[in-house]
Structure 1
Amino acid sequence: MPTSNTCDASSKFFDENDFTSNCPRANSPWRKVQFLGHLVSAQGVHVDPKKIEAVRTWKTPENVKELQQFLGFANYYNRFVPQYAKLAAPLTNLLKKNTPYKWETKHQEAVEQLKQALTSAPVLILPDPERDYVIEADASDQAVGAVLMQDQGNGLQPIAYLSKKLHGAELNYPIHDKEALAIVIAFKAWRCYLEGRRTTVYTDHCSLKYLKTQPNLSRRQVRWIDFLETHFHYDIVYKPGHKNKADALSRPAHVAAIQRS
């Protein structure tokens, strides 16, 4: 609990830096903080309204550099946007080597869809380190996706989303291994939250329930299990794909990039 001196010192800092905050004092109520393009409040993390206005008025990119700038901006907020990779795919395809910059209807539609997604982005709740976590993970032929959630008294709510394109040898993994990789990538991405807490992992691949006990593990599977068992407390639970929030996140074939690949 903040002390009076803590509130006084913190209030002075926020006043001097033109911030507002949510310290529980009647004469200096802290309600929200603008921080690195985000608005943080007791309800969670929002995209800064100033950034929302900026994306609303963003002009159509006319060359590669301007497209990189737009995708760089959008990618910064991708944790707010389910299926971000799918929405951005037509634009990231323009950044491939030896691809002429030819703006078409599909590119304009992608820009408008990203703008809509960013200006209506959900509030992401702040993680509660005293509560357990839930991950929903899924994989498709070319990508993996996951969502990190907690129930803080109002049902499961999102903390962050991720989706990642598969590369090289990963594309040739059997579907069982792709589904397992989705889980491993999620734990690596959110390790700072998940270490020391119990995590329930929902997957739509039933056999993953037996990942730790299946016979004849490959060296790759042994490495993954060793990583998970060494650092985390977790349970894997089967959940059909049509009920799995992450199922849609794994479907895009591209993850946004702001540099040519």
Structure 2
Amino acid sequence: MLCGGCIDFENVHFGYLTDRKILDGVSFSVPAGKSVAIVGTSGSGKSTILRLLYRFFDPQAGAIKVDGQHIKNVTLESLRRSIAVVPQDTVLFNDTIFHNIHYGRLSASQEEVYDAARRAAIHDTIMNFPERYSTVVGERGLKLSGGEKQRVALARAFLKAPSILLCDEATSALDSTTEAEILTALRSLANNRTSIFIAHRLTTAMQCDQIIVLENGKVVEQGAHEILLSRGGRYAQLWGQQNNTTELTDSLVKVP
């Protein structure tokens, strides 16, 4: 049985194909109740770390531990019960919005579902729908906006009340205003939970206790935002590139 404390990756090696290594000896620790952001360019192995932790795959070498227990030695049910995932593209059923939130914990009461929706800041939106919680969301949630779908994913996670929270670029497809609102709810959800954020936007990463920088399947830097910036290394380079891109986009928007 997992209590969802610290997470340890110990010299983990993994590749989807035998001749193409994705993770090349990755080691890091996430202390219980702390948040860690994993950043890096596309293909560096960020999302693979979450897939291994959720045991969609097992590493070819090395160990992944939660609370000091090798995750191979606990049942999948026990492992996955202690983890909630907020993905980039939330998978919704062609069913009511109530059922889509309730799926986070099917034993939850109606009031608990409503409370989870309030904490994810989607309850008021739902109450403005003509059929409220009986509203059918459509195939893959096509009747909801991107921000609304993410809030349903957050409500599911609040309802599940996990020990471990995994966020896989949960705000990357949203506009900046909606992103800020979702991040506020995510911070509330991550409070006092062991949390791993896969972050493309470094504004998400900077709010975490620690940042891990991946490059070609290896950890090349690790530390808090200000410390990594002061080192002038790979993270500082990524930060500079992203800010320059943002400034360029803003200037183009302002051109009459």
**If the TM-score is normalised by the length of the shorter chain, which range does it land in?**
under 0.3
Q: Which has the higher contact order (CA 8 A, sep 6+)?
A: 2
Structure with higher Rg: it is 1
- Which TM-score applies when normalising by structure 2? 0.27
